[in-house]
């Protein structure tokens, strides 16, 4: 939502006010990109931003390649927004992002008339040729992906005619909700999401709730640590994002939803989580796209559960910041947890965790997940290369220490 608030605010007419902005490196990369394209953005200060919109066609050519850092969201969504601009752009990122596949957005954008070149196998850098007229298409997503869906819909804003997307399973719908919040019509019927090109966006006030992907580490930490009782306030409860709650509920977690309400078009609530013995389950595949970013933390819950947890239908985890199935399996192996990776998931046998040194493969969610594992490990867990935690959760260490996790950051 932080990414989308900047992108749509930059293309809107008027000044958009944002509060609750996540000041992680990923979202700040999006801010920097739009500043490089001539958009005045004040902040962030205490989670507040003022975005002076340039209008749908008001961006200017950046002087240098746009550096997306570690942010796949920034690169994939910006590809859609930039495909219909009049100027050339180049999108680059850090070593991890430069290995991630972008063919999944290049393919539909080229069908719309965009001209994009990439490194072999559709990997960055992406060079987007300006001045290419886009035309609306209907695109059937081959896999459920909110980033690809959003990329196509955002390109549709600058395309002639109607652009529509069919997704094989529901994915997070923040883009659709926020487009409506900026006054742009989005139609949804029978799994098809559509926009008409040629409209305009109007500045809006955006209140971003706490990210449930970040909350997931604390939901699971409190669930596995005996005696825990934690209240998480103002957490986003978008139904396309609450798969982690559904999965934890099936595992026997004790999570109470308090004061559900709606803020700025998004459902939010407070979540009270208390320790409960968890049990292994077969994770329903319909929950997979609703919890795709939370699975590293859920693997830790599975390691602490009684019995076997089986995940299938999650091949998307193979192409995240790291191969998250392989990365988590390696860490679980080091801790003595029996597991069997598969091409689209993993089988985890709950058990006792020992002491180990964990490779993160420069993946922020791997680092934070194994931090929570220390709540149940029989000895210390040393986690290497944690700098990337700041990409999505810059305050994680302080917050975790504040609620009782014993972290030593001096190593």
**C-alpha span between 90 and 65 (Å, rounded):** 5
**C-alpha span between 344 and 295 (Å, rounded):** 12
Tokens of 62: 């950046």
Q: Catalytic residue at 293?
A: yes
Q: How do beta strands 381-383 and 356-358 pair?
A: parallel
Active-site option among 26, 94, 293, 362: 293
- C-alpha to C-alpha distances, 391 to 29, 173, 209, 214, nearest whole angstrom: 9, 22, 18, 12
Cross-strand partners of 230: 273
**C-alpha span between 55 and 381 (Å, rounded):** 50
Q: Which residues participate in catalysis according to the annotation?
A: 293
């Amino acid at each position: 939502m932080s990414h989308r608030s900047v992108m749509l605010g930059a293309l809107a007419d008027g000044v958009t006010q944002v509060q609750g902005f996540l000041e992680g490196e990923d979202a700040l990369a999006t801010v920097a990109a739009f500043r490089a394209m001539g958009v005045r953005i004040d902040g962030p200060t205490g989670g507040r931003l003022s975005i002076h919109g340039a209008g749908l066609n008001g961006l200017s050519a950046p002087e240098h390649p746009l550096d997306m850092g570690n942010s796949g969201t920034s690169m994939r969504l910006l590809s859609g927004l930039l495909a219909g601009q009049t100027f050339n752009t180049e999108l680059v990122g850090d070593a991890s992002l430069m290995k991630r596949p972008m063919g999944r957005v290049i393919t539909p954008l080229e069908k719309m008339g965009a001209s994009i070149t990439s490194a072999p196998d559709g990997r960055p850098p992406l060079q987007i040729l300006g001045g290419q007229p886009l035309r609306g298409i209907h695109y059937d997503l081959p896999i459920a992906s909110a980033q690809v869906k959003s990329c196509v819909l955002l390109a549709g804003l600058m395309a002639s005619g109607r652009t529509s997307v069919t997704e094989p399973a529901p994915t997070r719908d923040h883009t659709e909700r926020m487009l409506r919040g900026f006054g742009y019509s989005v139609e949804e019927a029978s799994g098809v999401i559509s926009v008409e090109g040629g409209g305009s966006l109007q500045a809006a006030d955006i209140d971003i709730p706490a990210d449930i992907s970040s909350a997931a580490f604390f939901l699971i930490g409190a669930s596995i640590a005996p005696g825990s009782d934690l209240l998480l306030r103002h957490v986003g409860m978008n139904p396309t994002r609450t798969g982690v709650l559904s999965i934890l509920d099936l595992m026997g977690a004790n999570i109470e939803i308090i004061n559900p309400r709606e803020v700025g078009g998004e459902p939010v609530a407070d979540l009270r989580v208390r320790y409960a013995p968890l049990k292994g389950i077969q994770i329903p595949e319909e929950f997979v796209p609703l919890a795709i970013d939370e699975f590293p933390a859920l693997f830790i819950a599975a390691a602490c559960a009684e019995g076997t947890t089986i995940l299938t239908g999650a091949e998307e985890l193979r192409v995240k910041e790291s191969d998250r199935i392989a990365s988590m399996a390696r860490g679980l192996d080091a801790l003595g947890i029996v597991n069997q990776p598969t091409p689209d998931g993993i089988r985890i046998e709950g058990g006792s965790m020992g002491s180990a040194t964990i490779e993160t493969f420069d993946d922020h969610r791997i680092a934070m997940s194994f931090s929570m594992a220390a709540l149940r490990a029989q000895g210390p867990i040393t986690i290497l290369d944690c700098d990337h935690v700041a990409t999505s959760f810059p305050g994680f260490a302080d917050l975790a220490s504040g609620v009782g996790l014993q972290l030593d950051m001096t190593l």
